[in-house]
């Protein structure tokens, strides 16, 4: 966590959802103590809890001042997320697993999240993402796109409310360029398009065409 902050990252997200919730709480409290109160801190449960467990966790961490609790419940449990969002002061974030604008509409209409986390490749590309981002803005929600920062940085920069963008280095081998971070912010590249060209390593994994069947 300290190394990430030194590298210019603006917040820290921690995986939770272990079988022993006490271990999650102990580790989270230790990180908060180490970082201090001023560093943005989030947690991601990756759908590991039922409604009762998520509520217990949420109540236990209220004093830690988390930016959000991510995917506490099954991705399609809009009702459960809505109940949790209403019961807790800590914001609820979800949406990364949804695969269409319509599924996000259900989430938004249910008030199931304070922060919506669409994934542009998963929902069908940039155009569907922008449609649901408009709906989220009208609903007063924050935006924190899931993964693929090379795409989502541009889309988040166009969002009227201050967004969050996940920083992953996992996809770095695919591209010749790197995103710049400075003082907790990602810098939107001014190169054409998304601002990235495929690396030689990535090109080895591509194909020119795929034949699905014969006429």
Task: Let me know if 146 is a catalytic residue.
Answer: yes
Q: Kindly name the residue from 81, 104, 146, 152 that is annotated as catalytic.
A: 146
Give the Å distances, CA to CA, from 170 to 17, 143, 175, 191.
Answer: 22, 22, 11, 21
Q: Kindly name the residue from 15, 104, 138, 167 that is annotated as catalytic.
A: 15
Average pLDDT in the chain: 94
Query: Smallest Cα–Cα separation from 65: which of 33, 95, 87?
Result: 33
- pLDDT tops 90 at residue 124: yes
pLDDT score at 87: 98
* In contact, 13 and 32? CB cutoff 8 Å: no
Query: Smallest Cα–Cα separation from 135: which of 162, 163, 156, 107?
Result: 107
pLDDT score at 215: 60
Q: Coil, strand, or helix at residue 21? A: helix
pTM for the whole structure: 0.91
pLDDT score at 119: 97
Residue-wise pLDDT for 158-177, tens only, equals 999 999 999 888 889 999 99
- CA of residue 98 relative to chain centroid, distance: 12
pLDDT range class, residue 205, cuts 50, 70, 90: confident
Out of 7-11, 69-73, 138-142, 150-154, pick the least confident.
Answer: 7-11
Domains and CATH numbers, the chain: 1-94 (3.20.20.120), 117-215 (3.20.20.120)
CA dist 51 and 4 (Å) reads: 32
Query: Smallest Cα–Cα separation from 95: which of 105, 84, 87?
Result: 105
- What is the residue whose two structure tokens read 């988040």? 156
Output phi, psi for 69, to 5 deg: -110, 120
pLDDT score at 90: 98
What number is the average pLDDT over the span 36-51?
Answer: 97
pLDDT score at 50: 98
Task: Let me know if 15 is a catalytic residue.
Answer: yes
* In contact, 42 and 66? CB cutoff 8 Å: yes
Percent pLDDT > 90 in the chain is 83
pLDDT range class, residue 189, cuts 50, 70, 90: very high
pLDDT score at 6: 81
CA dist 143 and 94 (Å) reads: 10
């Amino acid at each position: 966590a300290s190394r990430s902050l030194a590298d210019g990252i603006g917040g820290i997200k921690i995986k939770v959802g272990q079988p022993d919730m006490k271990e999650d709480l102990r580790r989270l409290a230790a990180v908060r103590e180490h970082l201090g109160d001023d560093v943005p801190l989030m947690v991601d449960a990756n759908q590991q809890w039922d409604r009762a467990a998520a509520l217990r966790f949420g109540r236990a961490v209220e004093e830690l001042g988390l930016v959000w609790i991510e995917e506490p419940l099954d991705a399609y449990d809009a009702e459960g997320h809505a109940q949790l969002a209403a019961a807790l002061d800590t914001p609820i974030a979800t949406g990364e697993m949804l695969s269409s604008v319509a599924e996000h509409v259900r989430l938004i209409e249910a008030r199931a999240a304070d922060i919506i986390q669409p994934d542009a490749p998963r929902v069908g590309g940039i155009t569907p993402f922008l449609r649901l981002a408009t709906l989220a803005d009208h609903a007063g929600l924050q935006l924190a796109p899931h993964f693929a920062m090379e795409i989502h940085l541009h889309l988040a920069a166009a969002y009227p409310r201050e967004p969050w963008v996940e920083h992953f280095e996992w996809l770095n081998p695919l591209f010749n360029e790197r995103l710049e971070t400075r003082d907790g912010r990602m810098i939107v590249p001014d190169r054409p398009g998304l601002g990235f060209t495929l690396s030689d390593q990535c090109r080895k994994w591509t194909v020119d065409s795929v034949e699905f069947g014969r006429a």
